[in-house]
Structures are given as structure tokens and as C-alpha cells.
Amino acid sequence: MKKTIIKTVSFFLMMVIMFAGGCAFLGGAAVGAAGTAGAYEYSSKNQLDKLEEDYKAGNITKEEYESRKKQIEEGSIIY
């Protein structure tokens, strides 16, 4: 009887440890994904800013500006 209780408690402790380790992995993956998405959106913002500067400076035509702006916006979640 005593061995059965020890085995049962050991089993539950192992399950808790494995579950907690899995949560840490998933949490880390979520943080990594959020960081990647944030960096991508930051890059999109910089591209849009540069594109607008080029358009205002007369370096590109309105058609080219609209086309490139649409491409950047399609690849972005925010814009």
C-alpha cells in the first residue's frame, strides 16, 4: 500500500514538472513570436516613412508610390 501511494505521488509530481516545463516553453515561444512581429511592423513603418519621403522629394511617381505603399500595407498587420 505504501509503495502504491509513493508511486502515485511520484507520478503526479512528474506530471506537474513536465506540465510546468511545457508552459515555460510555450510562453517563451509566444514572447519570441511577439518580438518578431513587433520588429517586422517597425520595419514596415520605416519603409512607409522612407517611401513618403521619396515621394515628397519627387524621386518616385505617384503610381510607383501607390504601388509600393500597397505592397507594404498588404504585408503588415497594422498598416
Considering the domain boundaries, does residue 41 fall inside one?
A: yes
Domain count, the chain: 1
Q: What is the pLDDT of residue 13?
A: 58
Q: What is the span of the domain harbouring residue 45?
A: 2-74
pLDDT of residue 45: 87
pLDDT in tens, 18-71: 565 555 555 566 666 666 667 777 888 899 999 999 999 999 999 999 999 998
Distance CA 70, CA 67 (A): 5
**Residues 44, 38: Cα–Cα separation, whole Å:** 10
Domain membership of residue 79 (yes or no) is no
Predicted local confidence at residue 51, as pLDDT: 94
